[in-house]
Structure 1
Amino acid sequence: MTKAPQNPLQIPELRARIALYVSVKDAIACTQVCKAWTDHFVYPIWHTIDFYKQMDLYHLGQDALRKYGQYIRIVKNLTEESDLSIILWSQASQPEHLTVVVQDTARFYRSFYDILRLTNSTLRTLNISCSSFPSSNMFFSVDALFPTGGAKVTSKLSSLTIHGLQITRNGFSALLRLCPLLTMLDMSNTVIRNNNTFNPFQHHKLHELTASLEQVFQPDPSSPNAPSLLVHFPALKDWEIPQSRLPTTTSIDAIAPDGDLHRSQTSSFDVIMAMTFHKDKLEVAGSYYPLNLFESDEVPQLEVQFQEHSWAILALPQNCALLTTLLSPLHHIDIDAIEKVRWTCMDLKLLYIRISGLDTEEKIDRTVQLWLDGRELLEKMGSGEGGSFIAEDTSIEARVARHLLQFKKLHRLWLRHQIIEVEL
């Protein structure tokens, strides 16, 4: 007698695999088949807890929460004290992602810190924001991230977002020391209060930072000569500056690593000089520009402080040999100034720049076409100077095209009119 083929869903290994891909709704239905199915399909139900969507967990009771807390890996939108209680009752000790909106009360902070201590050995992504600007006596406690009970556990945290909090400078250094695997830090609107003395711990893995100019160069307005936060990030590669106005003035003493350079009274110059201190590692550099800038040919009115020191932008390609991306779409730069300095960034790939005199679509289009023709000629020749065919042409279009042809890897270009992208 031929044996009936086995239902694939009765194979535990296959059922466990399928459970990873079903929706929460289907997983709930599957848990009602039998106990064996429940053991596998309960995981996707509890894997992600989003308190904006799951509002009835509080009514399940502590026993049920403790039973399934072991499956929780992602927790989103912790905003109420009742949300904190649910996570604490569940004894969830293996979450990898946690997002919380902190309420400025001592009771909320205590429960939140208890959750951090419970999960600090497994968290990989932590996003903390404050519902309102914190009171002057409420500081984020770094101690909550330390392993409890003296356990020697290395933090797995690689991405940290702290918005609208307060932390001391010593606490900030301790935070970096505690998280050796951290590669991304977003600290928008977070205030770093200076200590009289602090240990400027350097984090050699963090390469992506989101922070305003004010935060980096003047972290504590009450201590204007405090060292820049850049001293903590020697391996920084990508610094994203949220849209905001530049600070009125910044002391170069607060930025320079040795602190013995002269003072400057213009923020644009200070920022650029600070970036050149990282010239041996800097790969991407850019100035502020509106997100919708490239959707139209219309360019917003340039502020005086941007125009006054546009020439200083050239310090970046002149000094930063590893630069692959230079984005400066709101600065007018003169071609005479460009030709006077040697750009060391020969691996430049992306360039967004405005050149004085290239002020019509016709001029820009001719410049781009000369650049493309030069590239084609260079490919046919195999070596030499692609700009040789326009060597006698003294027009601004030809001068700009000759400059662009130095960069063999340049494939994305913006000269105000439109973004041009070519295949290498």
Structure 2
Amino acid sequence: MTRHAIVRDILANMGDNLTSVTFAYAEISESVVFALLLHKTTLSYITTITDHDENLTERDDIPPASDQFQALGRVLQLVPRSCPKLLVLVLECHEMDMDHVEEDEWICDGLRHLRVRIRGLDSKEKVDKALRLWKEGREKKYSKNKGNEEMTGVEDEEADQTIDSNLAETKEIPIEVRVARYLLTFDDLDRVWLGTGT
């Protein structure tokens, strides 16, 4: 029996109240993702770990992607699209494609901690810019929210305008802006790692 099959079988036979799972990212497969979805109504923490000692946290460089599951990245999108109670999603080895992410809504509205990589955010400068745009939009959104409770919906528009002002006259939306906009849809999100610092 392969290690993928062992992880799949453990997940499939865990009972009805599984809230947290941690496993080696090397063991992810299509069948493991589908086994996770058996617990979509209860899962709140999904964490993958690497098989090596290399610390991916707080780096100045972007480590090269060695993602055996990259070709099935769309399948992995089923997890945040199907798990409404998800608070923590840690997939440091996976490089998400924003085209796949933006195809449909993640329903985990209470997401607080996200650790993923995004295709195209391939330098510290790009990662830092995406995080800065997200933080600026978030600060503007919350300052408006505190100042006037009747501004609901307007703050999202103004946060988008803050991001849009960074576009200048470019015709194509930069990956940093797309990522920041998506992150701003999660009101409770306060810890984000996209390849370098948190």
Same fold by TM-score greater than 0.5: yes
Structure-2 residue corresponding to 1:231: 13
Structure-1 residue corresponding to 2:139: 376
1:336 aligns with 2:99: yes
User: Root-mean-square deviation (CA), in Å?
Assistant: 2.4
Structure-1 residue corresponding to 2:115: 352
**Unpaired segments of 5 or more residues in structure 2?**
146-151, 168-172
Structure-2 residue corresponding to 1:316: 79
From the two aligned structures, give the one with the greater helix fraction.
Answer: 2
Hey, what's the Cα distance between the residues in 2 that align with 1:330 and 1:395? 23
RCO greater where, 1 or 2, for CA within 8 Å and sep 6 or more?
2
Change in CA separation of 1:360 and 1:213 when aligned onto 2, cut-off 3 Å: same
Structure-2 residue corresponding to 1:240: 22
Structure-1 residue corresponding to 2:6: 215
Q: Answer yes or no: is the 8 Å Cα contact 2:92–2:195 preserved in 1.
A: yes
Structure-2 residue corresponding to 1:362: 125
Change in CA separation of 1:298 and 1:357 when aligned onto 2, cut-off 3 Å: closer
Q: Answer yes or no: is the 8 Å Cα contact 1:353–1:416 preserved in 2.
A: yes
The alignment's TM-score, normalised by the length of structure 2, stands at: 0.79
Q: Which has the greater radius of gyration? A: 1
Equivalent AA in structure 2 for residue 326 of structure 1: L
Q: 1:295 deviation in Å?
A: 5.2
Task: Identify the match of residue 185 of structure 2 among 391, 406, 412.
Answer: 406
1:16-415 alignment to 2 at 5 Å?
213-218=4-9, 230-241=12-23, 243=24, 245-246=26-27, 268-289=29-50, 290=52, 292-294=55-57, 296=59, 297-299=61-63, 301-303=65-67, 305-382=68-145, 383-384=152-153, 385=156, 386-391=159-164, 393=167, 394-415=173-194
Residue aligned with 1:417, SS: coil
Structure-2 residue corresponding to 1:252: none
Change in CA separation of 1:245 and 1:390 when aligned onto 2, cut-off 3 Å: closer
Hey, what's the Cα distance between the residues in 1 that align with 2:46 and 2:94? 14
Change in CA separation of 1:400 and 1:301 when aligned onto 2, cut-off 3 Å: closer
Structure-1 residue corresponding to 2:196: 417
Per-residue deviation, residues 121-169 of structure 1 (Å, max 9, x unmatched):
xxxxxxxxxxxxxxxxxxxxxxxxxxxxxxxxxxxxxxxxxxxxxxxxx
Q: 1:388 deviation in Å?
A: 3.4
Q: 1:301 deviation in Å?
A: 4.9
Q: Answer yes or no: is the 8 Å Cα contact 1:306–1:330 preserved in 2.
A: no
Q: 1:237 deviation in Å?
A: 1.1
Q: Answer yes or no: is the 8 Å Cα contact 2:62–2:122 preserved in 1.
A: no
Equivalent AA in structure 2 for residue 334 of structure 1: D
The alignment's TM-score, normalised by the length of structure 1, stands at: 0.39
Q: Answer yes or no: is the 8 Å Cα contact 1:387–1:401 preserved in 2.
A: no
Hey, what's the Cα distance between the residues in 1 that align with 2:25 and 2:101? 28
Equivalent AA in structure 1 for residue 8 of structure 2: F
Q: Answer yes or no: is the 8 Å Cα contact 1:282–1:323 preserved in 2.
A: yes
Number of corresponding residues: 178
Hey, what's the Cα distance between the residues in 2 that align with 1:396 and 1:300? 18
Change in CA separation of 1:295 and 1:414 when aligned onto 2, cut-off 3 Å: closer
